[in-house]
Amino acid sequence: MGLIENPKTYTGRDLETIFFRPMLTGQNAEQLGIRVLYNMPVPTTIQLWSPSDNILQPYNVGWNGGCASNKHQKTIELSRIKAELGFGAADYFSQVYELITNRSDVNLDDLTGTELEQAETEMFRAAIAESLRVTMWIGDTTANKYNMFDGFITKLMKYDGCTYVDFTNYDVDGESSIQIFQKLWAESPALLKSMKGDGNLVLLVSSDVYDAYDQYLDAHGSDAAYTDLTTGRRELSYHGIKLIDIGVSHLLHETNIEGPICILTDRRNLVLAVNTADYPGSEVRMWYNPDDMENRQRAIFMAGCEILDETLVSVGKFRA
């Protein structure tokens, strides 16, 4: 069995175009149910402008523009992060080789360095993307794991401006799932409800809430429900609001966060920011260490997340 020993280093433009941008833009970012900002200037500051509520007035000569537009500004604190992986040479070769052989266009008799590089890059990129995804939800700087920066749920536990909806008397099952969504919607701020027409409202839920609603839909004896039961549903929605399973339920036992989780907000209100341009030393490096017979991978970059306006977030409270 061969070894993968050619060192590879991504910096500057290559770091952006080859490594980070493919996992932070397009469909990959859309599936997260949040807003992703990549390589915005540091410090990353979001400017939100809104005009005065009423600018219509009777026609007359001269200027009577009234008050200036309202400005809301939020700075996203970015943390310096290092991601590292180490594999035994044999195991590493097996994983990379599997990625290559799964491609239909590969000539196994002529594996070039480019194909090996693409497989190595994809493997490390997937590991970083998953760690970022988990940390942006349950990250806690006071914890032992996922402690690079505070995630959205940790921030919601600290903020006072959110709308907390009491579900302490609810069981998360098929019958009650629809009642949970109904109550969460009914008690949400009027301004948040008015944003539904923009098409960006999302229900961010834990797996148990997502599965309970799926079971509720299965219980309806219509032709569409039967089709969904046999073929599955690609995605779920409640009254046009997309449900997104944030996929951290299996990790909550390692945190101070108690499930279930149910959050209603505008997806543009939750922001993950990643920067590889403004931090000296940002790079991705992959190399083989002959002393330990180990293939190693390292990435250095900056990341952080923020809730732009906590008053536009409704959170289900399932524990007393």
Lowest mean pLDDT among 163-177, 208-222, 248-262: 208-222
Q: Which residue has the higher pLDDT, 278 or 91?
A: 278
Structure-token match 């996203």, residue found: 76
- Amino acid at position 91, single letter: D
Residue 69 pLDDT: 60
Q: What is the pLDDT of residue 111?
A: 43
Would you state the pLDDT for residue 215?
Answer: 87
Binned at pLDDT 50, 70 and 90, residue 74 comes out as confident
Of the candidate ranges 70-84, 110-124, 150-164, 200-214, the one whose mean pLDDT is the lowest: 110-124
Confidence of residue 280 (pLDDT cuts 50, 70, 90): confident
Q: 108-124 pLDDT, tens per residue? A: 444 445 666 677 777 88
- Start-end of H helices in 70-189: 89-101, 113-138, 152-158, 174-186
Split at pLDDT 50, 70, 90, the class of 1 is very low
pLDDT tens digits, one per residue of 10-37: 888 888 888 888 877 766 666 778 888 8
The whole-number pLDDT of residue 87 equals 77
* Residues 316, 180 contacting (CB under 8 angstroms): yes
Mean pLDDT calculated for residue range 215-219: 84
Mean pLDDT of the chain: 82
Q: What integer pLDDT is reported at residue 109 of this predicted model?
A: 46
Q: CB-based burial of residue 18 (10 Å sphere; 0-12 exposed, 13-18 middle, 19+ buried)?
A: middle
Question: Each residue of 131-163: pLDDT tens digit?
Answer: 999 999 999 999 988 999 999 999 999 888 999
Q: So what's the pLDDT on residue 225?
A: 55
Average pLDDT of the segment spanning 177-181: 93
Assess whether pLDDT exceeds 90 at residue 166.
Answer: yes
Phi, psi (deg, nearest 5) at residue 109 = -85, -5
More confident residue, 240 or 48: 240
Tens of pLDDT along 221-239?
665 555 555 556 678 899 9
43: preceding bond cis by omega (within 30 degrees): yes
Of the chain, the percentage scoring pLDDT greater than 70 comes to 78
How far, in Å, are 7, 27, 192, 205 from residue 236 at the CA level? 44, 17, 20, 11
Position 152 scores a pLDDT of 95
Please give the Cα distance from 172 to 212 (Å, whole number): 6
| Interatomic CA distance for residues 286 and 117, integer angstroms | 10
Cα-Cα end-to-end distance for the chain: 57
Angstrom CA distances, 35 to 85, 86, 120, 276, stand at: 27, 31, 28, 18
CB distance 160 to 175 below 8 Å: no
E strands within the chain?
Answer: 8-10, 35-38, 44-50, 70-76, 79-88, 163-166, 201-205, 236-238, 241-245, 262-266, 270-275, 283-289, 294-307, 313-317
CA distances in angstroms from 187 to 31, 164, 181, 203, 296, listed in the order given: 26, 9, 10, 14, 50
User: Which of the pair, 116 or 168, is modelled with greater confidence?
Assistant: 168
Q: What is the mean pLDDT of residues 42-54?
A: 69
Reported pTM: 0.82
The more confident residue out of 87 and 127 is: 127
pLDDT bracket for residue 168 (50, 70, 90)? very high
Give the residue with greater pLDDT, 206 vs 125: 206
Band (8; pLDDT cuts 50, 70, 90): confident
